[in-house]
Structure 1
Amino acid sequence: MNGLLIYLLKASAVTALLYACYFLLMKKETCFGLNRAILLLIAVCAFVVPLLPSPVPVPTTAHSPVAVATSEVGREPDAERKPEVFVAGETNDSPHGISERPAPGLSWAGLLLLAYSVGVLFLLVKMFREAIVTIRLILGRKTLKHGKCRLIVVPDDTTACSLGRYVVISQRDFEYNSHEILTHEDAHRRFGHLFDSLFLNLCQVVLWFDPFIWLIRRDMREIHEFQADRYVLGQGIERRSYQMLVIRKCVGEKLFAQATGFHGDCSVKRRIRMMGRVRSRSGWKALAYVPLLFVTALAFGRPVGTDGLHSGTSPFVRGENRIPKDWFAAGTRVEAYRIGIDPDETKDGKPTVAIRRDTDVPGDGFGTLMQQCLPSEYAGKRVRMSGYMKSQDVAGWAGFWFRIDGQGARPLAFDNMHGRAVRGTTGWKKYEIVLDVPQQATNLAYGALLDGTGEI
């Protein structure tokens, strides 16, 4: 839940930053094709950048949840933290050793997500309603062929608009102004403006709370009209008479949001002014987006951390075997352990992971295969981590571990099975760790570790 909200906020921030650059540098320029591409790029980047890894890895410090969690998994938990550790076992109160606690009320994140969902649902219903009206109009009327367009002539005084190759035009306009209007609507078809409108409408549904996505949609409609006007004048139609037609048609009812209308959504004054301006040669200003996109990815991309624990440097991954997706190797001596999927061992037909001590590498320390996640759906609940482990000739100790961190990577709960560690040679056995996840938790880290010679 929190992950979705963070993603949406990052997408909104990306939109704001990139649109601000467009507004300052490009909005007044008449290179309409370039401006159109930039607006589409902004919309795409809003959704893609938060998913991309940051171009510059961010070093993690000792206060990083990963660094702290892995640096302490090989230690015995402090005595003062032991009351926070709940180990599964049979009790009189619960046959499964896990007490149920009342379901927490709806959190602020839940309320925000609920409000967001209502907005998305409202806009989706509105969009589908307009689509149904459009389909009924197209299917319920006789069409006339005009070049590559299909004309739908309506008796009432409707402002002309187009939806792809279908053009809606009033009987009066068809008789008196058909050449100018149909040329204008054909321009929308040639430039593929319908696809821009559909894409931005979907973006608007997802980011309905972001005012900048509404501005992008408005500016895109203006650009569509500017491009169509330029195309019409390029076909030899006299500019003054065409401008007078635009002024006469500036008031009309918009039929549906996806359609591109003759008067569009921009002001007549701006359209008239743009018709009299020559194509600008300031496209070089768009080069400002090259460093800006890098900064945006650095600020809002998915952080990729590096730390002093040599995360992911286990030599085992260089051979035939590999570390499972979304897991990584870490530890205080990870280079001394071979960690990865074991091709020779399965459990109930499923693949297993092996951690083996490489005796050729000197030094003490542990190696672990770990994963971490946000505590969103687990906050306020009691969580059980379970897994199966077998061991062979473990001279030190091994086990599963589970750690919950709060703000500033402050440990809230921690259990590494140090008091009931796996030693020697054992067969497959199920182990469990149960911890309460406080509402203020910010990170969950968990995995399996081996400290010393042997194999698990």
Structure 2
Amino acid sequence: MILYLLQVALVSGLLTAWYYLALRNRRLHGYNRAYLLGSLALSLVLPAIPFHWTAPVFAGKQVFAGTLGRVVDLGRAANNAFPIVTIACWTAAAASGALLGLSVWRIVQVYRLKARAKAVKMPGYTLVETDDPRTPFSFFNNLFWQRDADRDDPVNRRILRHEIAHIRGRHSWDGLFAQLACCLCWMNPFFWIIRRELTVVHEFIADAATGMEGDTEGFARMLLQSLNQGRFLQPVQGFFQSPIKRRLIMLQNTRMSRRSTLRKTLVAPVLLAVVVLLSCSKTPGGHASDAANPDAAKLAKEQLDWKTRKLIGSSVMEEMKKRADAAAAAGMSQMEYKLMMERKLQETEKQMKQPGLSQ
């Protein structure tokens, strides 16, 4: 589990670094949304896939595998002396449960608010009129609106279209997925960064759908309509929830970058590098720490030497020599003779009782 969490942090860190380097604050809103969601999914899935390559990719493979292995082994050694790892795992699980419970409670509060308010069915969404000061915001197909706000006002019409864009874009599903990933892997800082960036990208998409691009004055008027209340772990999409400065800059930037295609295609070598690093942290047939653990290798050598001494000291070798002579006289093929010898060795090992070896 510790190795898996380290690999999740490695994958998410590399993908987040590339996002900040090449994609952040670019007019690639749809692509960035898919990239951030894919980063969360790949960070959780790729470490669980056994990438076992028959040949080393580069000379540092064993060094990288040994580094991760030593981190895990240090945790195991500390846990043998005192159950630190066990306590940490239970604490992390409790924290994840608390965050999940808080998220569920927030969602319940949203539906309680809907139950107490007046709900009107509209084409494609449900308009919920309430006096809650956190409005306007949307959650799935529900658009929560200030009761005394005039929907015919030009500024309010833009805010309304903005929230409808969130609903039509199904941004609540993205938010719930990112929230779930952050609750389960709350110790991974890159997940929280991805979640925050995904929220900002949602606002970019809704701003573009509203037709506010280039109209910073209209956007400023909308900001004067309300104050940012701040929502920690809030699953809803709020108009005044994201960084205002970045939205203003994006509204002013109406030019499409000429290198947008290059920025998209260069994700492929980034993913290849991620797979290579993951393969370097795994070895065929076992845990990464097995290849870098000298104690395990020493124990395996002692067991092999002990079996060899038992075979030499017993009458098995003499019997095998007789069988070899008989096989040669009978014209037995080399493969048949090898299979016969392997069966005999396996039978002999089963009959032997291995003594306890000192650790």
Shift of 1:58: 4.3
Aligned to 1:361: 335
Higher relative contact order (CA 8 A, sep 6+): 2
Number of the residue aligned with 1:164: 140
Give the match for residue 391 of structure 1.
none
**1:134 shift after superposition:** 1.6
CA gap of 1:18–1:253, structure 2 versus 1, over 3 A, is closer
Shift in CA distance, 242/304, structure 1 to aligned 2, threshold 3 Å: same
For the 8 Å contact 2:214–2:254, the answer to whether it is kept is no
User: TM-score when scaled to structure 2?
Assistant: 0.71
3-state DSSP of counterpart to 2:24: coil
Q: 1:402-417 counterparts in 2 under 5 A?
A: 416-417=349-350
Task: Say whether the 8 Å CA contact 1:52–1:297 is kept in structure 2.
Answer: no
Name 2:201's counterpart in structure 1: 223
Selected match of 2:239 from 262, 268, 285: 262
The letter for the 2-side match of 1:262 is F
| Amino acid in structure 1 at the alignment position of 2:111 | I
Alignment of 1:273-352 (within 5 A): 273-281=249-257, 282-283=259-260, 284-301=262-279, 303=282, 305=284
Q: Which amino acid in 2 is paired with 1:111?
A: I
1:140 aligns with 2:116: yes
| CA–CA separation in structure 2 for the residues paired with 1:246 and 1:113 | 44
Separation (CA, whole Å) in 2 of partners of 1:367 and 1:58: 31
Change (3 A) 1:398 1:226: same
Change (3 A) 1:146 1:212: same
* CA deviation vs aligned residue, 1:278-322 (integer Å, no higher than 9, x gap): 15233221222211211211212473538xxxxxxxxxxxxxxxx
Structure with greater strand share of residues:
1
Matching residue's letter, 1:128:
V
Specify whether residues 433 and 287 from structure 1 end up closer, same or farther in structure 2 by C-alpha distance, changes over 3 A only: farther
Aligned to 2:21: 24
Shift in Å, 1:108: 2.8
SS at match of 2:126: strand
Do the aligned partners of residues 168 and 436 (structure 1) sit closer, same or farther apart at CA in structure 2, a change above 3 Å counting? farther
Residue correspondences, number: 289
User: Counterparts of 1:147 and 1:178 in 2: how far apart (Å)?
Assistant: 18
1:36 aligned partner: 33
SS at match of 1:117: helix
1:351 aligns with none
Q: Kindly state the Cα deviation for residue 142 of structure 1 after the two structures are TM-superposed.
A: 2.3
Report the equivalent of 1:334.
Answer: none
- When residues 105 and 303 of structure 1 are mapped into structure 2, their CA distance, relative to the original with a 3 A threshold, is closer
CA shift in 2, pair 1:253/1:154, >3 Å:
farther
Separation in 2, partners of 1:142, 1:205: 32
Q: 5 Å matches for 1:53-452?
A: 53-54=50-51, 56-58=53-55, 106-175=82-151, 176=153, 177-233=155-211, 240-252=217-229, 254=231, 257-264=234-241, 266-281=242-257, 282-283=259-260, 284-301=262-279, 303=282, 305=284, 361=335, 364=338, 396-399=344-347, 416-417=349-350, 420-421=351-352
Distance 1:46 1:186 in 2: 31
CA distance in 2, matches of 1:173, 1:367: 89
Q: 1:206 to 1:13 in 2, by over 3 A?
A: same
Once the 2 structures are TM-superposed, how far is the Cα of residue 256 of structure 1 from its aligned partner? 6.5
SS in structure 1 at match of 2:144? strand
| % identical aligned pairs | 22
- CA drift of 1:150 comes to 0.7
**1:125-174 deviations in whole A, cap 9, x for unaligned?**
11111121122122332201232111111124333100011011112334
Summarize the Cα distance change of 1:44–1:172 in structure 2 as closer, same or farther, 3 Å threshold: same
Distance 1:364 1:124, change over 3 A: same
Q: Is the 8 A contact 2:27 2:256 kept in 1?
A: yes
Please tell me the residue identity of whatever aligns with 2:17: A
How far apart in 1 are the matches of 2:358 and 2:179?
Answer: 40
Query: Which 5+ residue runs of structure 2 have no aligned equivalent?
Result: 57-61, 63-79, 286-331
CA RMSD of aligned residues (A): 3.4
Equivalent position SS for 1:252: coil
- 1:9 match: 6
- DSSP-derived class of the 1:270 partner: helix
Cα distance between partner residues in 2 of 1:53 and 1:161? 43
Confirm or deny: 8 A CA contact 2:214 2:253 kept in the other structure. Answer: no
The answer as to whether partners of 1:57 and 1:304 remain within 8 angstroms in 2 is no
Post-superposition offset of 1:115: 2.5
Counterpart secondary structure, 1:162? strand
Which of the two has greater helix per residue? 2
Inter-partner Cα distance in structure 2 for 1:142 and 1:437: 75
- One-letter code aligned to 2:179: N
- Contact 1:250-1:268 at 8 Å conserved across structures: no
TM-score by length of 1: 0.56
Go from structure 1 to structure 2 and tell me whether the alpha carbon gap of 1:397 and 1:134 turns closer, same or farther (over 3 Å shift): same
Distance 1:190 1:436, change over 3 A: farther
Change (3 A) 1:13 1:434: farther
**Long gaps (5+) in structure 1:** 65-103, 307-357, 369-393, 401-415, 422-431, 439-456
**Counterpart contact for 1:55–1:297, Cα < 8 Å:** no
Rate the CA distance shift 1:52–1:134 in 2: closer, same or farther, 3 A.
same
